[in-house]
A and B are shown apart, each in its own frame.
Chain A
Amino acid sequence: MSAAPKSSAPGPMPRWLEIGGLPIVNLLMALIVSCLIVVAIGENPFAAIRAMAVGAFGDLYGIGYTLYYATNFIFTGLAVAIAFHAGLFNIGGEGQAYIGGLGAGLVALLFDHSLTLWPLLALGVAASAVFGAAWAFVPAYLQAKRGSHIVITTIMFNFLAAALMVYLLVNVFRIPGSMEVVSRDFADGAGVPYVHVLLGQIGIVMPTTPLNLAFVWALICCGLVWIYLWRSRGGYELRTAGLSPKAAQYAGISPNRVTIEAMLISGALAGFLGFNEILGNHRQIVLDFVAGAGFTGIAVALMGRNHPIGIILASVLFGALFQGGSEVAFEIPTITRDMIVVMQGLVILFSGALAYVNRPLLEKLWRLYAARRQMKAATVVASVSPAVAPDAPVALAQETVTVAAMPAAPAPQALETTPEAEVLEVVEAEIVTMGPGAEPPAPSTEPRKKRGPKKPKRKPGEV
């Protein structure tokens, strides 16, 4: 089920290529296909891209909207990513966000006249988290205790959420006599402060956009998720269970508990989208405010490689696509906003479903490049010490192969260790396993020495 930690394929790819290069290649392929579609409907793709970039980043208005959309995608992207790390596919971000919005809205409707702003917002954040988590709890529980496939149950819960919200809005929240299916407006000022208002107070003029302080909360969530995943016991258990439920169980971690925990966090994160939309933007409960952001979260998580920093970058990119997309639709009417939906799907296709197509390709290219570089290094060594020359390139080549065969650690984890240190560790481990009598020829250590100062760690007696 784990769609995300795709790094089980062997690869000597350096981290920078893995983390930076691969998403760009995937994005480029999605972009190329999108451009082909634009050409097919008889428009100029470059004009569209320019209109999109100007629309998204050209002025403060565009940037405001871009970041407002990005806020939603950060929340849903984190939600999908944390489930991915636990080996689960949470396709129900849509429903969890919808119900999270219900929580935020309820708080506002109940307390907007009695509470001051900050307690209200704190309560709103808590309520959206609790409601979102509650909506994720049932599928999680059924998966953990009864083995129901979580993908199917979360899809079903999306539809259930939609039905529930329509019912509540029509029968409970709607103002009697009104034809519009919305709740009453929240009291004046009962909502997350807008960024343009705050900037206006310090003298920076910004056009009115729905960008609000929920964006800051989204960034804080990224930090919290990072700490949780890579600096806490719970996160360690979560990742372990995601990589190998059996190993986790053997180590005394209950995979069932991890499933429920991961889904609760995931649902809470998705619920924050409702906080941004209901308390931040609409300031009343409306229908269909999630508008597919739960699915965009899948694309964001896949492209951001399930790492908070990657998710921020991918979210801003998708925010730009959504904001720029409406500008494009305005300038070139043939290209509707649905083109963005296509791109989003293509990104999921290339970086998710076809992950094993681009990766080996890039890997092969890198290996070719690396081998050539090492050959060059070897010939330099040969000219220095001709006595051991015949062995040197062979040993080096062997080493390249063995390093290539080592399974790489999952990408996001590896961010902690610097690439160089890791390469060295792998090389050293190889030397140790070679055993006595297979001491590498002296010159072959020559190029390795240059890579880092870590070498003298081995004791003299040890081979």
Chain B
Amino acid sequence: MEWFTTVIYLLGATIRVSTPLIFCAMAGLISERSGVIDIGLEGKMLAAAFAAAVVAALTGSAWEGLAAAVVVGAMLSLLHGFACITHRGDQVVSGVAINIIVSGLTVVLGNAWFQRGGETPQLQAEQRFMGVVFPGTENISHVPLLGSLYLKVISGQSLLTYVAFLLVPAVAWLLYRSRFGLRLRAVGENPAVVDTAGISVDFLRYRAVILGGILCGFAGAYLAIAQNAGFQRDMTAGRGYIALAAMIFGKWKPLPALYACLLFGFLDAGAPLLQGVKIYGNTELPVQLIQALPYALTVILLAGFIGKAIPPRAIGRPYVKER
């Protein structure tokens, strides 16, 4: 039964590690489907994590922390929109600028406010989003296999994790079944047509970008006040880029993006287990190989060797109204 405990652990860990990736991938998806490249996922998530940790530490409320994270995420999106949509600046450059500013600013502010080398104070359990215990765990936990699956994987995750998994169908509905989504997809493919129909391209893109910022806020809040108990410098550690890769791996579609997030999360969660595992007699499987897999897979996908990832046609191009 030892292998089963491992599987249960791995599934639970995969879900926990994937949660911020799902939020970020959905954020990037909405933004990029509207034609705005979102390299700044990493920065927005990091800023949101910082805001969540600071506010939760000061007010003692996880909910206020989440609100702060969402506001900060949206504000940074507004900056991105101001640069790229209103002033037609380069979207990649703007995203890079946001990432770099945030990676420095969070440490400067954190250090100035708390004098802990950029960390925020440790949060108590009531200041965080702790695991939600589902009803019936007591009764079902005795059932073999299913019981521990229910106890360790399905139940007991943070509230935000459930939100993340519910978010995916919600985003799919928004994109494919709502009027807003139709317009959003259209503006990412051919903004001129949307403009001709009398719909503001800029306003649509702003809404998409802000929505993305809000979701990055959730991702950051999850990192700082659900998965961890406070903010550490550069705590996103490239997750924004992984989410970006997952979104591309999912070919800019919600459900495939979810699978990609789970796959990358699984690789991340499983890497420590493979430490020291021997293959072919005495050679160890390098952990770095597992860690590098998401990036390598994304490159291979982008090269068109596993299916074809076709980005929204108008992506990266600011819309200039004809005069």
| Chains A and B bind each other | yes
CB distance from B92 to the nearest CB of A (A): 5
A345 near B289 with CB under 8 A, answer no
**Minimum CB distance partner of A339 in chain B:** B108
CB distance from B156 to the nearest CB of A (A): 31
Residues on A with beta carbons closer than 8 Å to the beta carbon of B295: 156-157, 159-160, 163
A352 near B302 with CB under 8 A, answer no
Question: Per-residue CB proximity of B280-323 to A under 8 Å, as 1/0?
Answer: 00000010110110011011001110000001000010000000
Query: With A153-B302, A160-B292, A164-B292 known to touch, is A349 a contact of B83 (CB < 8 Å)?
Result: yes
B105 near A342 with CB under 8 A, answer yes
A344 near B100 with CB under 8 A, answer yes
CB distance from A388 to the nearest CB of B (A): 35
A341 near B100 with CB under 8 A, answer yes
Query: With A151-B39, A354-B89 known to touch, is A339 a contact of B104 (CB < 8 Å)?
Result: yes
A244 within 8 A of B: no
In the assembled complex, the Cα of A374 lies from the Cα of B96 at a distance in Å of 42
Residues on B with beta carbons closer than 8 Å to the beta carbon of A352: 89-90, 93-94, 96-97
Q: Which of B24-67 contact A (CB under 8 A)?
A: 37, 39
A349 near B112 with CB under 8 A, answer no
**Minimum CB distance partner of B107 in chain A:** A338
A211 within 8 A of B: no
CB distance from A81 to the nearest CB of B (A): 13
B96 near A342 with CB under 8 A, answer no
Question: Per-residue CB proximity of A352-390 to B under 8 Å, as 1/0?
Answer: 111111000000000000000000000000000000000
**Minimum CB distance partner of A141 in chain B:** B303
Q: Which of A49-86 contact B (CB under 8 A)?
A: none
B89 near A353 with CB under 8 A, answer yes
Identify which of B39, B92, B94, B118 gathers the most chain A CB atoms within 10 Å of its CB.
B92
Residues on B with beta carbons closer than 8 Å to the beta carbon of A357: 83, 87, 89
Residues on A with beta carbons closer than 8 Å to the beta carbon of B87: 354, 356-357
In the assembled complex, the Cα of A299 lies from the Cα of B311 at a distance in Å of 27
B23 within 8 A of A: no
**Minimum CB distance partner of A167 in chain B:** B288
B248 within 8 A of A: yes
Contact residue among A42, A91, A159 (Cβ-Cβ distance under 8 Å from B96) = A91
B241 near A335 with CB under 8 A, answer no
Residues on B with beta carbons closer than 8 Å to the beta carbon of A343: 104
B238 within 8 A of A: yes
Interface with B: A99-107, A142-150, A260-268, which one?
A: A142-150
Contact residue among A142, A152, A335, A348 (Cβ-Cβ distance under 8 Å from B97) = A348
B182 within 8 A of A: no
Residues on B with beta carbons closer than 8 Å to the beta carbon of A171: 286
Q: Which of A121-162 contact B (CB under 8 A)?
A: 138-139, 142, 146-149, 151-153, 155-157, 159-160
In the assembled complex, the Cα of A42 lies from the Cα of B113 at a distance in Å of 10
In the assembled complex, the Cα of A183 lies from the Cα of B87 at a distance in Å of 49
A295 within 8 A of B: yes
**Minimum CB distance partner of B104 in chain A:** A341
Q: Which of A31-57 contact B (CB under 8 A)?
A: 37, 41-42
Residues on B with beta carbons closer than 8 Å to the beta carbon of A346: 97, 101
Question: Per-residue CB proximity of A285-307 to B under 8 Å, as 1/0?
Answer: 00000000001001100100000
Contact residue among A147, A160, A167 (Cβ-Cβ distance under 8 Å from B296) = A160
A336 within 8 A of B: yes
Query: With A156-B298, A159-B238 known to touch, is A302 a contact of B316 (CB < 8 Å)?
Result: no
A340 within 8 A of B: yes
Query: With A149-B311, A345-B101 known to touch, is A163 a contact of B291 (CB < 8 Å)?
Result: yes
Residues on B with beta carbons closer than 8 Å to the beta carbon of A336: 107-108, 111, 118
In the assembled complex, the Cα of A153 lies from the Cα of B101 at a distance in Å of 23
Contact residue among B93, B101, B113 (Cβ-Cβ distance under 8 Å from A302) = B93
A166 within 8 A of B: yes
Identify which of A91, A149, A152, A160 gathers the most chain B CB atoms within 10 Å of its CB.
A152
B94 near A345 with CB under 8 A, answer no
Query: With A41-B108, A349-B83 known to touch, is A163 a contact of B288 (CB < 8 Å)?
Result: yes
B157 within 8 A of A: no
Residues on A with beta carbons closer than 8 Å to the beta carbon of B289: 163, 167
CB distance from A282 to the nearest CB of B (A): 21
In the assembled complex, the Cα of A340 lies from the Cα of B108 at a distance in Å of 10
CB distance from A273 to the nearest CB of B (A): 18
Query: With A160-B296, A349-B101 known to touch, is A155 a contact of B241 (CB < 8 Å)?
Result: yes
Query: With A156-B295, A338-B118, A354-B87 known to touch, is A349 a contact of B97 (CB < 8 Å)?
Result: yes
B15 within 8 A of A: no
B232 within 8 A of A: no
B299 near A153 with CB under 8 A, answer yes
B304 near A148 with CB under 8 A, answer yes
Query: With A148-B303, A353-B97 known to touch, is A342 a contact of B89 (CB < 8 Å)?
Result: no
In the assembled complex, the Cα of A339 lies from the Cα of B110 at a distance in Å of 12
A438 within 8 A of B: no
B221 within 8 A of A: no
A89 within 8 A of B: yes
B244 within 8 A of A: yes
A342 near B97 with CB under 8 A, answer no
In the assembled complex, the Cα of A150 lies from the Cα of B306 at a distance in Å of 18
In the assembled complex, the Cα of A164 lies from the Cα of B286 at a distance in Å of 10
A334 within 8 A of B: yes
Contact residue among A1, A89, A156, A167 (Cβ-Cβ distance under 8 Å from B299) = A156
**Minimum CB distance partner of A9 in chain B:** B88
Residues on A with beta carbons closer than 8 Å to the beta carbon of B21: none
A152 near B288 with CB under 8 A, answer no
Residues on B with beta carbons closer than 8 Å to the beta carbon of A156: 241, 245, 295-296, 298-299
Residues on B with beta carbons closer than 8 Å to the beta carbon of A170: 288
Supplied contacts A152-B245, A338-B108, A353-B97, 4 more A-B pairs, CB within 8 Å: A37-B108, A163-B289, A163-B295, A338-B105
24 A-B interface contacts by CB (under 8 A): A37-B108, A41-B113, A91-B96, A142-B302, A142-B303, A153-B302, A156-B299, A159-B241, A163-B288, A163-B291, A167-B286, A334-B112, A341-B107, A344-B100, A344-B104, A348-B93, A349-B94, A349-B97, A349-B101, A352-B93, A352-B94, A353-B93, A356-B88, A357-B89
Task: Identify the A interface with B (CB < 8 A).
Answer: 1, 3, 37, 41-42, 89, 91, 138-139, 142, 146-149, 151-153, 155-157, 159-160, 163-164, 166-167, 170-171, 295, 298-299, 302, 334-336, 338-346, 348-349, 352-357
